[in-house]
Amino acid sequence: MPREETPLAAPQKSFKYTVTYPFPSQQNGRILFSIREIMHLTIAALLAVCAGLSLLWFSNPFSVNYVPLVVFGGIFAASFLAHELAHKIVAQRHGLWAEFRLNLMGMVLTLISIAVPYPKIISPGAVIVAGSTDHRTIGKISLAGPITNILLAGLFMLGAVFLPSHGVFLTFLVIFNSWIAVFNLIPFGVFDGFKIFNWSKKVWALAFAASAVLLAVSIWPFW
């Protein structure tokens, strides 16, 4: 299979992870975090929180209840981190080296998203994966992120049904998670969808259909 190589010191300007080969893999399958990675994750989480706060602020700046606003921002950030950590965990479980790194282009796009009402592109960094592997493993690693957001979107949708008093907040979270999934499942270029499509077109189609349905249902009340 074709191999993509990226120097660890200068990762690609992609919005998701990339697979690299010249570095030793982590053979024991343990989930490990370096101090550098924790610093990068912390900065990324703060940017994601700000993006979440700006989403509600632009939606209705004069009737914001600040306690749920902060909670929303935290869950918003957690949804982004869950996507990235899902990539990391699956990769490390397969014995590969995997760590999150900030990305200059992604940080700029995230900052722009904070400053404008729509669209929200929250991608301050990516999980970098190193180690020799195959299409199937790459596909599973790629699928882990979108599937995590699809599951979160489904849970938040159930919450919106059974907790109508928090319906607006929960619906925004459904939209955000399903949007992350749809966006990353685009089957081109550096997106997760391209790697999943190369592995299994059936798996890609099911994941994309699920995320697209969740997104359509969640945004329908705002049309």
Catalytic positions, written as ranges: 84
Strand partners, 36: none
Is residue 127 within 8 A of residue 192, CB to CB? The reply is no
Phi/psi region, residue 189 (left: phi>0; alpha: psi -120 to 50; beta: rest), is left
Is residue 144 within 8 A of residue 86, CB to CB? The reply is yes
Report the C-alpha gap between 26 and 93 in whole angstroms.
9
What letter does residue 99 receive in the DSSP assignment?
E
Q: What are phi and psi of 189, to 5 degrees?
A: 55, -130
Closest-CA residue to 153 (of 194, 213, 196): 213
Length of the chain, please?
A: 223
Report the C-alpha gap between 144 and 154 in whole angstroms.
16
Is residue 129 within 8 A of residue 141, CB to CB? The reply is yes
Is residue 56 within 8 A of residue 172, CB to CB? The reply is yes
